Amino acid sequence: MTSRTIGPVLMNGVRTEPAEAAVSVFDIGFQRGYGCFEAMRSYADGVFRLDGHLDRLERSAAHLRIELRDREALRSWCVEAAEGGVGVLRVYVTGGMDAARPGRDNIIVVYLEPAPAAPTSVRLDLLDAPWHADGKVSELTGAKTLSYGPNLAATIEAQSKGFDDAALLGSGGIVLEGPTFSLGWVKDGVVFTPSLESHILASITREATLEVAERLGLHVSVGHFHRSELTEADEVFVMSTVREIMPVTAVGDIDLEPGPVTGMLRAGFRELVTEELA
Ligand SMILES: Cc1ncc(COP(=O)(O)O)c(C=O)c1O
């Protein structure tokens, strides 16, 4: 077993040693990045919003015309792989062996990996993302596909300049999201986050954060915002399954401090997770 997984890898539900877990080089998931995936958070008491993640996976697969035949079986594989372990539960759906018939002889891979040693804050570079859907509609809009090359390249580009990651910008300098996270910020006590109409990923953490903000009685503004609103914010934070809610301490050459509203949202998110999994 390698240190990348906590338990076995389930390959179409079959428990497989990590070293033996393999996908064919002829699978269009490997050859074309044709497939979809999810990352969920497994806590000691269960998987946070497992059904929300499976709903999103089903939507992704439907965009790719891959039929997820047995939702209940898939759900049980997730529960089996998580088994009360703490970490990131990964699910990958490959495109299969025939580009003319997506999903044919495909593999669904499920495994739990240790949560990464989380930094306590992130520094973001502002990068244009001309490849992002950015409000435009295509066959795969909204799908969390295996084709994450441009996202990874943006992270690597930001890191090559001394940042931790990127904040992606659409046309006209509109703020979108990070390569693997959603963005939020605070100005004069109001919480801002880009609209899903920009075709950013429908993030489970962003959705939960908006619920927490409502509970806390915070004013929230969801819309289309220019990069200057991000660089002039009092606080900036990222939201994702892996990072939960994490403060941003730099946006380009602007330095920031982790702020009180981010702290409240973070604590509120933790409470929500505890409540839901109780
Ligand atoms: C592009 C993108 N945006 C946002 C997110 C955050 O989504 P979630 O909160 O569901 O993890 C992710 C997560 O992988 C992502 O890839």
How confident is the model over 92-119, as pLDDT tens digits?
999 999 999 999 999 999 999 999 887 8
Q: Per the structure, how many domains does the chain have?
A: 2
Residues 127 and 256 both lie in one domain: yes
The pLDDT tens digits for 6-31 are: 889 999 999 999 999 999 999 999 99
The amino acid present at 227, given as its one-letter code, is R
Task: Determine contact, residues 47/126, Cβ cutoff 8 Å.
Answer: no
- The pLDDT confidence band at residue 235, using thresholds 50, 70 and 90, is very high
Give the distance (Å) from ligand 1 centre to CA of residue 150: 14
Which of 113, 132, 160 represents a domain boundary (last residue)? 113
The pocket around ligand 1, CB under 6 angstroms, is made up of 39, 177, 180-182, 200-201, 203-206, 239-241
Residues 130 and 256 both lie in one domain: yes
Distances (CA, A) of 81 to 46, 68, 93, 98: 11, 18, 15, 28
Atom nearest to 151 CA in ligand 1: 1
Q: Which domain holds residue 148?
A: 122-277
Give the distance (Å) from ligand 1 centre to CA of residue 266: 17
Confidence (pLDDT) at 119: 81
> Nearest CA to 213 among 238, 182, 186?
186
In a domain, 217, yes or no: yes
Reading the block at residue 113, the tokens are 């990996």
Atom nearest to 241 CA in ligand 1: 11
Residues 228 and 201 both lie in one domain: yes
Residue nearest to atom 7 of ligand 1 (CA): 203
In a domain, 240, yes or no: yes
Residues 57 and 178 both lie in one domain: no
Give the distance (Å) from ligand 1 centre to CA of residue 180: 5
Residues present in the chain in total = 278
Residue nearest to atom 15 of ligand 1 (CA): 180
Give the distance (Å) from ligand 1 centre to CA of residue 276: 20
Give the distance (Å) from ligand 1 centre to CA of residue 44: 22
The pLDDT tens digits for 115-131 are: 988 788 999 999 999 99
Give the distance (Å) from ligand 1 centre to CA of residue 239: 8
